[in-house]
Amino acid sequence: MDIRITQQFSNNIAIRQAQMRQQQIAELQKDLATGLRIHQPSDAPNEWGYLVGQKSSSNRMEVDLENIATARQRLNQSVSSLTEAGNILTRARELAIAGPQSLERETLASEVDRLIDAMLAIGNSSVAGVQQYAGTASSTIPFEVTGEDESGRPTSIEYRGSNDSSDVVVSPGITASALPSGAEVFQQSKRTPSVYVGPTGAKAGLGTDSAAGIGELIVKHTATTYGSGSVAPGASSVGGDTIIGEMGVNTLTILADGSGDRFVRLNGGERFEFDASSTDLRVVGPDGERVFVDLSGLLPSFSGDIDLEATGTVSVDGGITETVIDFTNNQVLTDDATGEVTVIDSASIRRPGTDRIEYSGTDGVFESLMRLRDDLRQADDLPSPQLQTILDARIADIQRAHDQVTEFVGEQAVELSNIEVLENRVRELKLVTDEAVIELENADVADAIVKLQTEQNHLQFIYATTAMITQNSLLDFIR
Amino acid sequence: MTFATGLSALRANQTALSVTGNNIANATTPGFRRQEVRFVENPQVDFDSFSIGTGVSIGEIRQAGDVVLESAIRNGISGSSQLASKLQTAQNIEHLFLPGTGTIQERTEDLFLKLERLSALPTEATLRSAVVASADSLAKEVSRVSNALEAMSTDSLSAIEDTIRSIDAKASEVADLNLQIWNIENTGRDAFALRNERDLRLTELAEFVDVERRVAADGTETYVMAGGMFDVGAGVSDLEIRVNEAGELEIWKEGCDKPLTGVGGKLGGLVSTTSEPGGVGDVQAKLAEFVSAITYFLDASHATGVGIGGAFKSITSGRPVGDSAAALSEQQTIVPMEAGSLYVSVNDVETGLSTLTSIEIDPAVDTLETFSTKLNGIDHVTATVDGAGKIAIVASPGFTFDFTGNVQTHPDTSALSDQLDVEVFGRYSGDSNEQYQLNFLGAGTIGVTEGLRLEVVDENGLTVGTFDVGRDYEPNSRLALANGVSFSLAPGNVVDTDSFSIDLIARPDEVGVLAALGINTLFVGNSAGTLEVNSLLSDNPSLLATTTNGDPSDTRNLHRMIDARDALVMRDGTITMEQFLADMTAAAGQEVSELELDLHAQEEQQNILQSQLDLTTGVDVNEELAKMLQYQNSYQAAARYITVVDDMLQELFAIVR
């Protein structure tokens, strides 16, 4: 085979090689100009998916960090606000403790008013127009004063916000509760057996009340009947007797002395003399209970005990619904207005009258404070033992409210701590991810420069050799 | 000694010089093959007892060539052209997904990022606007890419038609040249120039379609093309372009019962880009798959939420159907539907009470009209279908409606022996729709009777829990039912046959009818090319359905949309939508990369073959110059010989005179 090298052959080699080198130089120049190694999927198709995934993760972590910052800011503000709320409740407790002995209860009540205002301000606090304690209903002012007394002091504060908290996505699959429900913070209840303060002897029954706050139990006497047919109620018995109880709970004792005088005692109390004309005798028991009794039919020779039964009615809705006392330990009374029920132990009722029912553990923060304020103001009207009982209940309420707020602050502090840990983790992860992106995507400048220089050298060699070859021709030697 | 001998040498060398001159002149002419002269000795004549030669003449003028190499080169050209055509399409596709220019993948990511950011600041009007703007941007990019792909598809068709015309033109030229060659060569002359011209046309033809040289048993040479289905001289005018059921282009020859296969050159490349993996059709199908998925998951979530304004007084669908009397499954809907329930909540604005009603829809049977009829069966809701194939749903005055599937706050307790108020709270976070039956065990008073219990039974009849609602239960206090839902019982009396049920709805629209019809959806439009963001949201971003109850910071429905980001919903539940897009883009890049490598390899091989051919048939000017000197010297020598003969004759004539 002939070895023939044509000019066309040499030219083609020169052109092709020069084109290839120039293409390489253009690509290296692009890498250096942009600082990137991968400009489009075809530059590194096998790495493309991973690169896109890493970039996406980095961008997502950027948003996560922004969301974490938002959640952290809100939690910080909330912890700060609720810490202040805890201080308010601590002060309220101090005032409640001082109440029974204080001679300046109005002053104490006035201070509680200011505490209520301060607590209301915390409950209705907002940041950038977003309510802190309205849950998802963040544009609604959560705690609305729905009742005021003649002095303009709030007597009723109702929650208008949402029962659901608003969650922020702080990382894929992880949320933080940034806007809690005010009901959860300020209105949590932890019911304990209700306390009855008053003369009737009623107690909490075997069951669970649904009524909340404070209530009133009205016990009325209906009729008294006697175990002996020779003793009958006096004319003033209805409306005048102040005993309640099943047969045998109260006892009338008939006595006679040697002189022929006859006496009657109620429940072992003071002796009251009577005779055949005693048709409406007022007999008072040891605790002030009384009956009006007709003893005119009593045999002169009779002495001994006579059991009595005193029936009555009870009501928890101010007398709208009066229920006959059934003397059981779980009598259910319904408030006609609200439908709420109170379960009482009516077997323990001994006297007609009005009891104050403390539905313990059902007051929220605001109710506890308002009740303390009101009780301090009304303390002068209460007998000392009842005042102490009531203020003890207030102290318990406020302590419970304080504990709840403090517990919630603790929960938020824990969440805050978790978020900060998460933030650090995301920040570190983002750093690693960004480094991976840079490692993958960015051009190695030093390497690119060396390659560029090499390619330029090659190109110069091509040009030089091409020029040298084309210079030599037989034509130059033909004369 | 004769003049004739010298004259023959003069003539032969003059001819050879002409051939060399022609070679030098055509040294760079495309398709030219160098020619060579073969000298032959003239016959001898007898002189006395000797035989003496009578000079030289041109035996033949040969043209260099290598038909095998030339065929290989033509095949290479055809292959390169096919690859170049495919590469061009692949690069165009890749350019549609170039990073840094707001690709679909980047815009999808941006939409999800903004949704996630909105979860922290759901009341921020600017963020809500940003989400809508991002969705709009995504829809526009999807539409742009879809339309660009459609245009590429159309351009491919147009390019195929142009290519066929070019093939016909080149084939016609080859046929004309073949005729001229035949005419000349039949006279016993060489037709080098015409053959070169014909072969050049064949090479040019190979760029458009595969060309094959065939030699018959009798040595007759023919050229065929397009997988051997056409004689080059006959052209390919009867080719027909068809679109198959898969939307792929096919080339059919008139009279054949199946499409042509193995067609090379640009024509083959253009056809394959519409049907092969990584081609336009393939990318269009993938884009449609993505659009269907993102539409299904975002629109379906959006449709079952409400904006900050809360439930609807009226709403009109944004994806009209072609025929409101035809079954829904027969409509060209962007997302698929399946038979199931649609839960509609009707809310009394004054009391705040809501009623949850379910209607059963079977897309294979139900039409838009029957869907409307079923909606009309719900109290306080009126639905009408207009002539444009849209459905409008309106609530009665004082009522609103939604498709959130929120729990019915007061379930039906009318069957209980005594009036008992049951209230349900919370938002159901379960994965599937559930109905719980609650049966009282025993008789008595709630909150009072010792041992009074309430049993909870699921749809399978399994007891999932029992509550003590007796002495230790505080009436109206909440009892946790399941997945974020609780309920309370008011005080009251019950007997042991009393029971009621509570529906918990995770998928308010099991059918997918809301997304399919564009009812309260984020996007509207029935295809990738017509995808748009719902204009109601553009006008009022507060309608962005981030909530399930209208509370500004309720982000429950927003979380549903965000959850779609990490959901493994593509490729049989193995990857996310973003991963699908990344893979799609990487595949486009892979296609370009592989084609570039293939093309580069093909061109390198082509260069080698071309160099070999060049070494065989090309003109080496130095060689020709050397020959030129040789012929010149021979010519000069012959001329000198004639002068000598002439001198000798003059000497002879002088003797005679």
b vs e for B262-281, b when ≥16 Cβ sit within 10 Å of the residue's Cβ?
A: ebbbbbbbbbbbbbbebbbb
Using DSSP bridges, classify how beta strands B463-468 and B478-482 pair: parallel, antiparallel or unpaired: unpaired
CB–CB of A332 and B426 under 8 A?
no
Residues whose CB falls within 8 Å of the CB of residue A64, separated by 6 or more in sequence, listed in order: A169, A170, A171, A172, A426, B116
The token pair at A23 is 């293409």
Question: Is A291 within 8 Å of A235 (Cβ atoms)?
Answer: no
Q: Do B553 and A137 touch (CB under 8 A)?
A: yes
C-alpha separations of B395 from B138, B380, B384, B391, B547 in Å: 33, 6, 12, 13, 20
Per-residue model confidence (pLDDT) at position A475: 76
> Cα(A285)–Cα(A275) distance, rounded to whole angstroms?
19
DSSP character at residue A160:
-
Of B94, B547, B618, the CB nearest to A40: B94
Q: Kindly determine whether residue B491 and residue A332, on different chains, have CB atoms separated by under 8 Å.
A: yes
Burial class (CB in 10 A: 0-12, 13-18, 19+), B577: buried
Q: Quick check: A182 contacting B, CB < 8 Å?
A: no
Number of H helices, E strands in chain A: 8, 20
Residues B410, B412, B414: CA angle, nearest 5 degrees: 125
Alpha-carbon gap, residue A473 to A132, rounded angstroms: 93
Contacts of B490 in chain A (CB under 8 A): 210, 339
Which one is predicted more confidently, B423 or A3?
Answer: B423
Q: Which of residues 209-238 of A touch B (CB under 8 A)?
A: 209-210
Q: What is the mean pLDDT of chain B?
A: 91
Residue of B467, B551, B577 for testing the chain A interface, max A β-carbons within 10 Å: B551
pLDDT at B332: 84
CB contacts of A5 in chain B (<8 Å) are 615, 620
Q: Which of residues 135-154 of A touch B (CB under 8 A)?
A: 135-139
Of the candidates A49, A205, A473, the beta carbon closest to that of B622 is on A473
Report the residue from B28, B559, B583 with minimal CB separation from A169: B559
Q: Quick check: A174 and A64 in contact, CB under 8 A?
A: no
Which of B27, B94, B112 is the closest to A42 by Cβ?
B94
Burial of B145 (0-12, 13-18, 19+ CB in 10 A): buried
Q: What confidence tens digit (pLDDT) does each residue in B126-177 have?
A: 999 999 999 999 999 999 999 999 999 888 889 998 998 999 899 999 999 9
Report the gap between the CA of B406 and the closest CA in chain A (Å): 14
Q: Nearest by CB to A474, from B549, B611, B626: name it.
A: B626
B233: left (phi over 0), alpha (psi -120 to 50) or beta: alpha
Give the count of Cβ contacts less than 8 A between chain A and B: 217
**Pick from B31, B379, B335: nearest CA to B196:** B31
Q: Cβ–Cβ of B28/A339 closer than 8 Å? A: no
Divide the 479 residues of chain A into consecutive groups of 10 and give the mean pLDDT of each group: 73 88 93 90 90 93 95 93 95 89 84 95 92 94 94 93 89 87 88 90 91 92 88 91 92 83 91 90 93 89 90 94 93 90 94 92 91 85 78 90 92 92 95 94 91 93 84 73
Residue A19 Cα to chain centre, angstroms: 75
- Tell me if ipTM is over 0.90: no
Nearest to A279 by CA among A318, A245, A237, A223: A237
Query: In chain A, whose CA is at the least distance from the CA of B449?
Result: A207
In the stretch 438-477 of chain A, residues with CB closer than 8 A to chain B read: 473-475
Which residues in chain A touch residue B583, judged by CB atoms under 8 angstroms apart?
49
For the cut 90, the answer to whether the pLDDT of residue B338 exceeds it is yes
What end-to-end distance do the CA atoms of chain A give, in Å? 31
What gap in Å lies between CA B269 and CA B88, rounded to an integer? Answer: 10
Mean pLDDT of the B406-428 span: 89
- Nearest Cα neighbor of B470 from B449, B496, B443, B439 is B449
Of B656 and B337, the structure prediction assigns the larger pLDDT to B337
Q: Using the beta-carbon criterion (under 8 Å), do A332 and B448 form an inter-chain contact?
A: yes
Measured between CA atoms, the residue of chain A closest to residue B445 is A332
Residue-by-residue DSSP string for B534-561: -HHHHH-GGGS--BSSS-TT--HHHHHH
Q: How many whole angstroms separate alpha carbon B523 and alpha carbon B518? A: 7
Shortest Cα–Cα distance, A177 to chain B (Å): 10
Cβ-count burial B504-525 (b if 16+ within 10 Å, e if not): bbbbbbbbbbbbbbbbbbbbbb
pLDDT tens digits, B71-127:
999 999 999 999 999 999 999 999 988 866 688 999 999 999 999 999 999 999 999
Residue A68's pLDDT is: 95
Selected residues 305-324 of chain A with any CB under 8 Å from a CB in chain B: none
Contact criterion met (CB below 8 Å) for B105 and B585: yes
Which residues in chain A (21-80) have CB-CB distances under 8 A to chain B?
Answer: 39-46, 48-49, 52-53, 56, 59-60, 62-64, 66-67, 70-71
Chain B, nearest residue to A178 by Cα: B120
Q: State whether B116 and A6 contact (CB < 8 Å).
A: no
Residues in chain B with CB shorter than 8 Å from the CB of A2 are: 615
CA B89, CA B79: separation in Å to the nearest integer? 16
> Which residue, among B26, B119, B409, would best test binding to A if mutated, counting the most A CBs under 10 Å from its CB?
B119
Residue A70: alpha-carbon gap to chain centroid: 21
Mind telling me how many Å the CA of B386 is from chain A's nearest CA?
Answer: 37
**Do B113 and A60 count as a contact with CB atoms less than 8 A apart?**
yes
Which of B191-200, B218-227, B351-360 is predicted with the least confidence, judged by mean pLDDT? B218-227
Question: Do B586 and A6 make contact, defined as CB atoms within 8 angstroms?
Answer: no
**Among A465-474, B43-52, B308-317, the least confident range:** A465-474
- Summarize chain A as % helix, strand, coil (round to 5): 45, 25, 30
Question: Are the beta carbons of A7 and B586 separated by less than 8 Å?
Answer: no
d(CA B468, CA B454): 6
In sequence order, the 6+-apart residues with CB closer than 8 A to the CB of B622 are A473, A474
**Which residues of chain B make contact with A130, given a CB cutoff of 8 A?**
123, 553
Q: Check A8 against B614: CB less than 8 A apart.
A: yes
Q: Which of A56, A175, A191 sits opposite B109 (nearest CB)?
A: A56
Q: With an 8 Å Cβ cutoff, are A332 and B553 in contact?
A: no
Q: A157 is written with which tokens?
A: 């504060």
Identify whether the C-beta of residue B97 lies closer than 8 Å to the C-beta of residue B586: no
Residue numbers in A near B610 (CB within 8 A): 12
Q: What residues have CB less than 8 Å from B422, skipping those under 6 apart?
A: B410, B411, B413, B487, B488, B489, B490, B500
The pLDDT value given to residue A2: 55
**Both structure tokens of B128:** 């809500």
Cβ contact B474–A208 (<8 Å)? yes
Residue B294: pLDDT over 80: yes
Distance CA B137, CA A262 (A): 106
Three-state helix/strand/coil letters over A32-78: HHHCECCCCHHHCHHHHHHHHHHHHHHHHHHHHHHHHHHHHHHHHHH
Q: Average of pLDDT values for B281-300?
A: 92
Neighboring chain A residues of B618 at a CB cutoff of 8 Å: 4, 6, 8-9
Give the pLDDT of residue A303.
85
For residue A3, what pLDDT is reported?
Answer: 67
**What per-residue confidence (pLDDT) applies to A468?**
81
Q: How far is CA B618 from the centre of its chain?
A: 45
Name the residue facing B589 among A2, A7, A48 (closest C-beta).
A48
Q: Closest approach of chain B CAs to the CA of A124, in angstroms?
A: 16
> What pTM did the predictor assign?
0.85
- Residue B77 in contact with residue B203, Cβ under 8 Å? yes
**Which residues in chain A have their CB less than 8 angstroms from residue B622's CB?**
473-474
Beta strands in A107-190 (DSSP E): 126-127, 130-131, 143-148, 154-159, 166-171, 174-179
* Alpha carbon of B179: minimum distance to chain A alpha carbons (Å): 31
Q: Measure CA B657 to chain center.
A: 101
What sign does the CA torsion over B308, B311, B313, B317 have?
Answer: positive
The whole-angstrom separation of Cα A40 and Cα A281 is: 111
Which of B99, B113, B619 is opposite residue A63, by nearest beta carbon?
B113
pLDDT of the residue at A128? 86
Helix (H) / strand (E) containing A421: helix A384-441
Q: A262 vs chain B: nearest CA distance in angstroms? A: 48
